[in-house]
Structure 1
Amino acid sequence: MIPTPPDCGSARSAAVVNDEIRALMRRPEVRLSGEDRARYEVLVAEWTRAEQAESLRDGIVEAA
């Protein structure tokens, strides 16, 4: 089963998601299992959304 990202209301920061990605990729010489690969893809998508949200938020703060 492919894991799903958390709801938008409980979004994690890009830094937290990045830490989880790094932990998953701790040993790059070892191939990821199918389950780990699916988790990696979910994390990358979550990280992208978090980065976009943080950039938007930072832009709004600077504009204020």
Structure 2
Amino acid sequence: MPTTPPSQSRVRSAEQVNAEIRALMEETGTWLWGPTRERYERLRDEWVQAVREEMTTAA
């Protein structure tokens, strides 16, 4: 059964996602591999989306 993607209408702020990225980097000592790398990449993509959203709403 296909899963429904998360709602795109509610995006966390770039600041919130950045804080989670920083916490991840602190936890791992910046060593990213396997599942940790995948988590970082998802967070990075979410951060980019949040920045774009914030830029759009600010304009």
TM range (shorter): 0.7 to 0.9
TM-score, reference length from structure 1: 0.73
C-alpha distance in structure 1 between counterparts of 2:8 and 2:17, whole Å: 14
Cross-structure match for 2:40: 40
Q: Which has the larger radius of gyration?
A: 1
User: Any gaps of 5 or more consecutive residues in structure 1?
Assistant: 60-64
Aligned AA for 2:32? L
Alignment of structure 1 residues 1-64 onto 2, 5 Å:
6-26=6-26, 27-28=29-30, 31-59=31-59
C-alpha distance in structure 1 between counterparts of 2:48 and 2:14, whole Å: 8
Q: 1:10: Cα distance to partner?
A: 2.2
Runs of 4+ deviating beyond 4 Å: none
Aligned AA for 2:34? G
RMSD: 1.6
| Distance verdict in 2 for CA 1:6–1:19, change over 3 Å | farther
